[in-house]
């Protein structure tokens, strides 16, 4: 039996992009590292089907919801591209669970899953934590 590690993140949907409109319970969020980001070298962008970039994973003590991990803490635990699922929403803030290996496989096996629209080859992505 393998140990399941549960990682929650705070997704900050930007009003400059789409605001809260893309956020939906059980929505799939693509996490994309942005090492060249001029404001934060540990920035992780969030993208959703139909919208593209919606915001970022929170990385400040002022924006990370209690019980969630910051972008800096998650950065080395995920690949350059990975996925999370929204579990809770309040205004333009969402709490998302980074998919564990079983959840990721289930998404890959579902031909209707948004992972197939957000990534060219999702089956080639590796679960990293």
Angle at 52 between CA 49 and CA 57, to 5 degrees: 100
Supply the pLDDT for residue 102.
Answer: 87
pTM for the structure as a whole: 0.89
Q: Which residue do the tokens 């949907």 mark?
A: 13
Choice between 120 and 58, residue whose per-residue pLDDT is larger: 58
Instruction: Check if the beta carbon of residue 84 is closer than 8 Å to that of residue 96.
Output: yes
pLDDT, tens only, 32-41: 999 999 999 9
Choice between 128 and 87, residue whose per-residue pLDDT is larger: 87
In this prediction, residue 4 has a pLDDT band, given cuts at 50, 70 and 90, of low
pLDDT at 126 over 70: no
Choice between 32 and 101, residue whose per-residue pLDDT is larger: 32
Structural tokens at position 26? 């059980």
pLDDT at 3 over 70: no
Supply the pLDDT for residue 127.
Answer: 56
Structural domains of the chain, with CATH: 8-121 (3.30.70.2330)
Structural tokens at position 84? 């999370």
Task: Give the mean pLDDT of 16-36.
Answer: 92
In this prediction, residue 124 has a pLDDT band, given cuts at 50, 70 and 90, of low
């Amino acid at each position: 039996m393998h140990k399941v590690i549960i990682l929650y993140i705070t997704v900050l949907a930007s009003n400059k992009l789409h605001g809260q409109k893309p956020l939906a319970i059980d929505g799939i969020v693509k996490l994309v590292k942005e090492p060249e980001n001029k404001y934060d070298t540990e920035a992780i962008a969030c993208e959703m089907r139909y919208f593209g970039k919606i915001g970022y994973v929170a990385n400040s003590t002022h924006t990370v919801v209690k019980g969630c991990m910051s972008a800096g803490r998650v950065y080395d635990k995920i690949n350059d591209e990975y996925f999370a699922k929204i579990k809770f929403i309040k205004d333009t803030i969402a709490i998302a669970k980074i998919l564990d290996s079983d959840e990721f496989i289930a998404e890959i096996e579902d031909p209707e899953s948004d992972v197939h629209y957000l990534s060219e080859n999702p089956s080639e992505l590796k679960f990293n934590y």
